[in-house]
């Protein structure tokens, strides 16, 4: 049976373990920068809720749930944004992705946006392929939006140029705000220019907006999901939140002044941390309360 003390022992032991394994650390392809839960990372057949600061490795799969958003900072300098119900898998064929990246991003479901900073676009050390459903886009440094769902695959060029391959045919895209569209079980349609209103709607699918309740690196606010005086109650709340795609933590506090010396116990708090403001913490608390039934409140 798990206990809170077990969690505490793991935390104390982590620095020593990390020091001993530093030379064998797997290569990181990306780092999670922002999470609007629920979202999960699947690694070696095991799922865990996605958390800010988490490293993404070769072969990892990211999934997002209802109303979710995720931002990733790629090691080679680009950024990736995911919308709700997205599935992304990362692959790399190089051991130093920060300086010499060769790999693929498989988007089998949902919307994404891939953006490369201007300073990175001229690099000849990058070979990035993005697979969107049945279509494949070769990236030469660009700003690209795409989506794959039950009805179609879409690749929208915002800036730069890409080479799209589908069913043995190749399509060059160099005109901004044109998109490649493939209805499911039908041939591709001619490249079409997107109208401004549609572009705004599509772009919103991968953007975190103020008040969406997203966690970010350096956030000082939190959502208190539950308080418990018993380990079992704390672990039940912890498991419920994490299984639902929220990266909850357990924080342990003494049960009161002098309680430990008198043989007293601990108090346990189950929290979602790294919210950047009170507004975001309140929004996240409201969402968690509606979805999971916790009496969640914002706290600093």
Q: What is the pLDDT of residues 113-150, one digit of tens each?
A: 999 886 555 555 667 889 999 899 987 768 999 999 99
Class of domain 28-204: mainly beta
| pLDDT at 257 (0 to 100) | 47
| pLDDT at 146 (0 to 100) | 96
Class of domain 215-299: alpha beta
Question: Fold match between 28-204 and 215-299?
Answer: no
Per-residue pLDDT 10s for the chain (300 aa) are 566 655 554 444 544 444 444 445 678 899 999 999 999 999 999 999 999 999 999 999 999 999 999 999 998 889 999 999 999 999 887 656 555 667 889 999 999 999 988 655 555 566 788 999 989 998 776 899 999 999 999 999 999 989 999 988 899 999 999 999 999 888 888 899 999 999 999 999 999 999 999 999 999 999 999 999 999 999 999 999 999 999 999 999 887 544 444 445 789 999 999 999 999 999 999 999 999 999 999 999
| pLDDT at 259 (0 to 100) | 42
What are the boundaries of each domain within the chain? 28-204, 215-299
For the chain, the three-class secondary structure string (H helix, E strand, C coil) is CCCHHHHHHHHHHHHHHHHHHHHHCCCEEEEEEEEECCEEEEECCEEEECCCCCEEECCCEEEECCCCEEEEEECCCCEEEECCCCEEEEEECCCCCCCCEEEEEEEEEEEEEEECCHHHHCCCCEEEEEEECCEEEEECCCEEEEEECCCEEEEEEEECCEEEEECCEEEEECCCCEEEEEECCCCCCCCEECCHHHHHHHHHCCCCCCCCCCEECCCCEEEEEEEECCHHHHHHHHHHHHHCCCCCEEEEEECCCCCCCCCCCEEEEEEEEEECCHHHHHHHHHHHHHHHCCCCEEEC
| pLDDT at 233 (0 to 100) | 94
Output the average pLDDT for the chain. Answer: 87
Cα–Cα distance measured from residue 24 to residue 194, given in angstroms and rounded to the nearest whole number: 47
């Amino acid at each position: 049976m798990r206990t809170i003390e077990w969690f505490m022992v793991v935390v104390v032991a982590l620095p020593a373990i990390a020091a001993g394994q530093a030379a064998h650390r797997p290569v990181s392809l990306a780092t999670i920068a922002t999470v609007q839960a629920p979202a999960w990372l699947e690694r070696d057949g095991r799922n865990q809720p996605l958390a800010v600061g988490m490293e993404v490795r070769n072969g990892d799969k990211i999934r997002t749930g209802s109303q979710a958003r995720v931002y990733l900072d790629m090691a080679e300098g680009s950024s990736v944004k995911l919308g709700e119900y997205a599935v992304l898998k990362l692959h790399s064929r190089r051991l130093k992705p920060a300086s010499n990246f060769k790999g693929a991003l498989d988007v089998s479901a949902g919307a994404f946006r891939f953006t490369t900073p201007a300073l990175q676009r001229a690099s000849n050390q990058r070979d990035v392929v993005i697979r969107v459903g049945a279509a494949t886009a070769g990236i030469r440094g660009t700003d690209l939006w795409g989506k794959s769902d039950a009805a179609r695959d879409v690749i929208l060029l915002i800036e730069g140029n890409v080479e799209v391959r589908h069913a043995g045919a190749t399509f060059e895209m160099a005109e901004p705000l044109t998109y490649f569209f493939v209805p499911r079980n039908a041939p591709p349609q001619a490249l079409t220019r997107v109208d401004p209103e549609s572009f705004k709607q599509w772009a919103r699918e991968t953007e975190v907006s103020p008040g969406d309740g997203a966690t970010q690196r350096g956030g000082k606010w939190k959502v208190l999901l539950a308080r418990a005086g018993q380990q079992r109650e704390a672990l039940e709340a912890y498991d419920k939140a994490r299984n639902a795609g929220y990266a909850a933590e357990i924080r342990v506090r003494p049960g009161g002044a002098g309680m430990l010396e008198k043989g007293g116990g601990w108090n346990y708090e189950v929290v979602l941390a790294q919210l950047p403001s009170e507004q975001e913490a309140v929004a996240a608390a409201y969402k968690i309360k509606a979805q999971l039934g916790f009496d969640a409140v914002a706290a600093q």
